[in-house]
Amino acid sequence: MRCKIGIRWAGQLLAKHQQVYTHQSCRNYRVDLVTKRLTYSEYGIPSDVVSLVEENLTCQLEPKQVLVKFLVSPVNPADINVLQGTYPMRNPLPATGGGEGVAEVVATGEDSDLSVGDWIVPDKPSSGSWISHLVTHEDYWIKVRNDIPEVTAGTLQINPCTAYRMLKDFVNLSPGDWVIQNGANSGVGQSVIQIAKSMGVKTVNIVRDRKEIDLLKEKLTVLGGDLVLTEEELRSSQLWRSGQLAKPVLGFNCVGGPSSTELCKVLANSGVLVTYGGMSRKPMIAATSHMIFKDLQLRGFWLGQWCMRQGKSEARLEMYEKVTELASKGELLPPDHQFVQLEDYREALDKTLAGFLPAKYVFKIN
């Protein structure tokens, strides 16, 4: 069996990085190139502890190994927490930053089940995706469809999949049911709106008040949000007390503090409130009466833990298939984003650390 290499990639990489490819046979396939990656060896202020390094990658492709090139990789708030040392999941140091991204197979070793041109995403969370090239065993990856936008493929593993699991795993939702969420303009929040719409489920979407609130409300409505309210509007609303709207059976909380209490007030009896974040850094608050007289269930969800438990289970692979299918049909749009190069990492890290970005920073890896 001969090893496989993408002709387009070979030409581009030879010209750009003076890389040497020998592919008389898979056993003799030689990788010789320069990689770029963002690495850190201690925890602290992200832009202080991260550095851009270039390294020679020289090896023979063994059977079942693949050479891949990352296409895009986002900067997520969780990536910032990892660099700060406050995230529950830690990699041995020194490590490469980045929790998700999409790569393209450039070449394969003997007997590989992957093919040149396949798009793949890392199997494990926080695996280090801020890197240009990588040689690994094919088991390191999960194949995804390559007929969707690069940004969608590179950002599907965290926000859309968190939304998908929360909509699927806690309440058996039926078309016409209502779901309520705070932080509705977040990445997960926007995914909830779109995935819920594809299920025929209606959404109440709570956001912070701001100067351009009407534009934000319009944006979330265009995505498919049925009702968009500010925190203040939710507190004063009579929509549920009057019976004008059916009470939500499921709620998603990523804020905490008083915001979570307001969700509890609106939820239907025996409703479920799932907490997946705490942007206010305040405890999740539910009144005693919510627990006794409404019989609410308070649950938590962390996608990283779910994925680690699942491995490459049918449920996980089906999740990627369903999410990318929605993207291919235009029912799940890529997040607002701003492309940057790896060399511009300080800007991306500092502004993500500051929060409240108008768009997600995404490394476009050339």
Backbone angles phi, psi at 58, to 5 degrees: -130, 120
> How far apart are the two ends of the chain, measured CA to CA in Å?
30
Check if 164 is active-site. no
Selecting among 29, 87, 276, 361, the annotated active-site residue is 87
Whole-angstrom Cα distance, residue 344 to residue 348? 7
Whole-angstrom Cα distance, residue 107 to residue 81? 34
Q: Which of 307, 359, 303 is nearest to 75 (CA)?
A: 359
Residue 178's beta-bridge partner residues? 202
Whole-angstrom Cα distance, residue 27 to residue 48? 42
Q: Alpha helix (H) ranges present in 56-113?
A: 77-84
Cβ-contact 107, 70 below 8 angstroms:
no
Measure Cα distances from 173 to 188, 273, 274 in Å: 18, 14, 14
Whole-angstrom Cα distance, residue 106 to residue 12? 11
Q: Which of 189, 201, 211, 344 is nearest to 279 (CA)?
A: 189
Cβ-contact 69, 116 below 8 angstroms:
no
Burial environment of residue 179 by CB neighbours within 10 A (0 to 12, 13 to 18, 19 or more): buried
Structure tokens at 35: 């990689």
Structure tokens at 95: 């490590």
- Catalytic residue ranges: 87
